[in-house]
A and B are shown apart, each in its own frame.
Chain A
């Protein structure tokens, strides 16, 4: 009887502390993953050199790919099946932008838009190229169009709003 009692007294807290530790670890892992995801998602505009005209296309290719095509929230109603074709064109746009070939960058994004025109993300990319080449009027129009297409995608809408603020413009409410 005493033996059983001692076992319960010792083992239960031990087990509880172990399981609590496991849960804590899991929670931390989840939080850390979320934090990484959040950073990946938000960092390019936020961490950009503070000159106001650095944007996603200049970030790494994998970030583009993740943001653009692996986030199920990033597109309203568009088919996900053709992502490989669009991704290839975005990579080409990135390469063109690195050497400041804005004509080629825009041409590649336009080609992607012809393939997947309902993807608001692609329209934001067009806006960023427009900013780079100093055409703030078109940048504003492209991003407003993206915002109108973003529908219920809060993250994308938030980012577009941020982008428009950078241009000293307000998004349509």
Chain B
């Protein structure tokens, strides 16, 4: 009886054990599948990386040594005396030598090589390859990362192959974390015992008993809780990983996955990103102490963070260096040398870049039109933009400084806001964008979203419409600058005024635009017709004008700074409007092209008419509302237009030379009067930052259909070339102009400078020469 019970209990226990074993095996099989799927199929979620434009280097490029050095520093190149390794540079006066890391662009590869760039002033004289001993016609630097769009998990990493892992890193990792890594099968009993003994001896937790494989399993799938169940799961997973994958594969995944700190809400995963994040350079360029610091962090990424806990981090690094010496990885002398060195932690790449929120906003908006959110966040896209990093930094600082100065003069503080855009007018590429002072991510980006009345900024487009009618209007056409009472549909009377509230009587079309006369513009608009002008503006700017009010003639239209800047490309670009672009191309993480944003042109105004308006806009700077620029720039001619909306609520300026076009708005977020005109506000901001832009004078090509005549504008007649003070003005060939054989006597009092003849060719005159010429005139 008793033996029967015992045997039944045994049978039951046997069954139970069998079921437990089966359950255990099933659980392991499930874990094994999970491990296999993760390793074999899973791809990490990689954030989209956003890059500034690379610097093009070629003989005669307009570039100073300082700019090149700035770019190299932003790329994490180290300044050394003798350049020996990729990622190093040296400067010796007008010579900059650097060892390019090489970069795979989607369209071609820039190979790693030692380059010497010889400068002559602010121009490149020669680019020389030290490796091949040959002249290099054209090369470009790597692009600087300016931001990333993180996945929902807020993880980030730079993926590396096993072959890209430095041998010293692997050796150190194994020496410190898991000495028997290459011989055990996922679990190391000897290592565990050794760790326990070390911890008991030290009476502290100095060494962990987990193998690298166990750490990987824990990092991948498990929480940080310390339970027996988690330990068993970790062990089973480690065994599965070891059974299925090679040691090299395990190390590769480990190096990419391991958690190495936090940057705000972004988690830093893997040695590749950690190297960039803490030391500002690729992993392959790290020296031994830096590698020791990173390996030291594995014990506790927060506790041994070299930025936040430098002392503890330094101690830990020196401990790792000690282990390296014991394991024969470095000599005693080298260890003693290394422990004397500081941590040498650098800022991450885009910490020193300045305010980029507004520009990145624009990039994201343009991207959203093409890609869904998941692709942007997870697919590791590379977004190459047109941002000029050096110039952007200068503009950001300059805009803030000028606005502070203006506020001090006005006696206000923190009420004015600003938005600015600078582009290359020939390609439509946005070089820098500022959406306001103290703009926080997700904040109100005024460059894109602040729709404000443009005031006189609209006038050049009305004049362009007039001048396109070559039989009716020319720059010499006389307009009436007299009082206007315009009866509106509701019976009210609209009576606009000139800015100075004075009437000029009769004035040429040219002077009317140059001095921004409201009454002459309204009279001109009346003769063309408001419906026609409205239609024209809609077509030209893609504007939504719902009602046809005559106040449109004086700029009662709301546009954002970006929209207005884009409209002005027509005058800078032979009548072609160029859609503005912040992105050049989007490539996959493997550098395959996914989407290019090509240069496009939209015919807007015929080239001849555009050149007439452009001429008038150069005169705005030469003698009109923008003439204060002449004190700052010796790069003439440049063209521009000031604008002020009702009650001085908005101050505008758009100006352009051959290679730069910039638009600025200054105003208040609550749309209250600022006391500023276009000249006293936006133009000053423009003038201050454009000094850093290397703006070039306009190049005057005469498009077909343009002829120059000598004119007595006051009389509205063509006069002989020999007449003193005759204006040399462009006309449509089709425009009929009355001719006089004599000079005629009447002169135009308002613009004496103009009558001395065109000053187009006055390029890069020094201040003294300009002053003397002005004095003589």
Contacts and interface: CB of A to CB of B under 8 A. Distances in A.
Interface of A: 76-77, 79, 81-82, 84-85, 87-89, 92, 103-104, 106-108, 110-111, 113-115, 117-118, 126, 138, 140-142, 144-145, 147-152, 157, 171-173
Contacts of A111: 56
Contacts of B576: 141, 144-145
Interface stretch (B69-77, B267-275, B591-599): B591-599
Contact of A85 (B59, B427, B608, B659): B59
A85 B426 contact: no
A151 B701 contact: yes
A114 B424 contact: yes
Contacts of B702: 151-152
Interface of B: 56, 58-61, 107-108, 137-138, 424, 426-427, 429, 573-576, 585, 593, 596, 598-603, 606-608, 658-659, 699, 701-705, 733
24 contacts: A81-B60, A82-B58, A84-B59, A88-B138, A106-B596, A106-B599, A107-B585, A110-B598, A111-B56, A113-B426, A114-B424, A114-B427, A118-B658, A140-B603, A141-B602, A144-B603, A145-B573, A147-B607, A148-B575, A148-B703, A149-B701, A172-B606, A172-B608, A173-B704
A151 B593 CA distance: 37
Given A82-B61, A85-B138, A108 B701 contact: no
Contact of B701 (A77, A126, A172, A173): A77
B108 A79 contact: no
Contacts of A172: 606-608, 703-705
B426 A117 contact: yes
A160 to B, nearest CB: 10
A45 B705 CA distance: 25
Contact of B137 (A88, A110, A149): A88
Contacts of A92: 107-108
Contacts of A104: 107
Chain A interface secondary structure, helix, strand, loop or mixed? helix
Nearest to B601: A141
A130 B575 CA distance: 20
A77 B700 CA distance: 9
B771 to A, nearest CB: 28
B705 A106 contact: no
A126 B598 CA distance: 11
Residue of A104, A145, A147 with highest tally of chain B CB at under 10 A: A145
A119 B505 CA distance: 44
Chain B interface secondary structure, helix, strand, loop or mixed? loop
B58 A85 contact: yes
B4 to A, nearest CB: 85
Nearest to B701: A151
Contacts of B603: 140-141, 144
A84 B138 contact: yes
Contacts of A79: 60
Given A81-B60, A82-B58, A149-B703, 14 more contacts: A76-B699, A92-B107, A103-B593, A103-B598, A104-B107, A106-B598, A113-B427, A113-B599, A114-B427, A115-B138, A144-B576, A147-B704, A151-B702, A152-B702
B108 A76 contact: no
Given A82-B59, A126-B599, A148-B607, A77 B699 contact: yes
Contact of B427 (A77, A110, A142, A173): A110
Nearest to B734: A173
Contacts of B607: 144-145, 147-148, 172
A118 B699 contact: yes
Contact of B704 (A81, A108, A114, A157): A157
A152 B58 CA distance: 29
B536 to A, nearest CB: 18
A121 to B, nearest CB: 13
Contacts of A157: 704
Contact of B107 (A88, A107, A140, A173): A107
Contacts of B61: 82, 115
Contacts of A150: 701
List 4 tightest A-B contacts by C-beta distance, closest first: A148-B607, A85-B58, A117-B426, A141-B601
